[in-house]
A and B are shown apart, each in its own frame.
Chain A
Amino acid sequence: QVHLVQSGGGVVQPGRSLRLSCAVSGFTFSSYGIHWVRQAPGKGLEWVAGISYDGSSEYYVDIVRGRFTISRDTSKNTLYLQMNSLRAEDTAVYYCARDAVPLRFYGVLTDLNADYWGQGTLVTVSS
């Protein structure tokens, strides 16, 4: 059974940092790329970042590039999203999601075909 269990959300002041975690089980973590997708309150889905199965490629939406860092720890079967210099507009429910295709060619992740999702974690940026 594939599971993605998220943790690390909460309330944080503008300008501060927060790290989200996504612990996976039920599949070979090192074979799959992972995405982060967020949803602001009452708004639509927004893709935030993605990392290839081997960690060789990282992708970010422009508005978080340079502030957010996606990483993975194969020894812990865990994906992270380090979020620095947080802004009010980063307030959202954040989801991690597994790429459906294992071992993508050349380690690229140029598709948002995500078949399993975490439960979501709320990040609120407010003073």
Chain B
Amino acid sequence: QSVLTQPPSASGTPGQRVTISCSGSSSNIGNNNVNWYQQLPGAAPKLLIYSSNQRPSGVPDRFSGSKSGTSASLAINGLQSEDEADYYCAAWDDSLDGAVFGGGTQLTVL
């Protein structure tokens, strides 16, 4: 049972917009930055979004993040086949004094 809750799966067709939600509490998302990671099969995770809505250089602007209260979401516009991957949200948890991940969302491009 992950501290942050994500849907286990999501899907979309090429060109579509897909959103992935991440639900937490006041001790994590509600009071700290949310970061999103993309993990392709067999690869290390890659930072996709930091500080809830900032993109590292090199990440396409098709990816965006937002946060409201104790929830966050990742949006992917113009879905492409190479976006097929696992996506994880992460945040610091003040009560646990450690970082926590969501359970991950497996994105399928149909």
A residues neighboring B (CB under 8 Å): 35, 37, 44-47, 50, 59-62, 95, 97, 100, 110-115, 117-120
Q: Which 8 A-B pairs have the closest CB atoms?
A: A47-B99, A112-B99, A117-B44, A44-B104, A112-B90, A113-B50, A110-B92, A45-B101
Min CB gap A113→B, angstroms: 4
CB-nearest residue of chain B to A110: B92
Do the beta carbons of A95 and B45 come within 8 Å of each other? yes
Distance in angstroms from B15 CB to nearest chain A CB is: 28
CA distance A100 to B32 in the complex (A): 16
In Å, the complex CA distance between A59 and B93 comes to 12
Contact A120 B44 (CB under 8 A): yes
Q: Which one of A59, A60, A111 lies within 8 Å of B33 (CB-CB)?
A: A111
Chain B 55-99 near chain A by CB (<8 Å), digits 1 or 0: 010000000000000000000000000000010101110101111
CB <8 Å contact, A59 and B98: yes
- How many interface residues does B have (CB within 8 Å)? 28
Residues of B within 8 A of A60 (CB): 98
Residue of B nearest to A45 (CB): B101
Whether B53 is near chain A, meaning CB under 8 Å from some CB there, is no
Which residues of chain B come closer than 8 Å to A115, judged between CB atoms?
Answer: 47, 50, 56
CB–CB A45/B44 < 8 A: no
Task: Please state if A119 and B44 are interface contacts (CB–CB under 8 Å).
Answer: yes
Find out whether the CB atom of A112 lies under 8 angstroms from the CB atom of B91. yes
Contacts A112-B91, A115-B56, A117-B44 supplied; 10 other A-B pairs, CB < 8 Å? A44-B101, A44-B102, A44-B104, A45-B104, A47-B100, A111-B35, A111-B92, A113-B33, A117-B45, A120-B44
- Measured in the bound complex, the distance between the Cα atoms of B97 and A114 in whole Å is 17
Contacts of B97 in A (CB 8 A): 59
In the assembled complex, which residues on chain B have CB atoms less than 8 Å from the CB atom of A112?
A: 35, 90-92, 99, 101
Q: Which residues of A contact B92 (CB under 8 A)?
A: 110-112
Q: State whether B33 touches A45 (Cβ < 8 A).
A: no
Chain A residues in 8 Å Cβ range of B96:
61-62
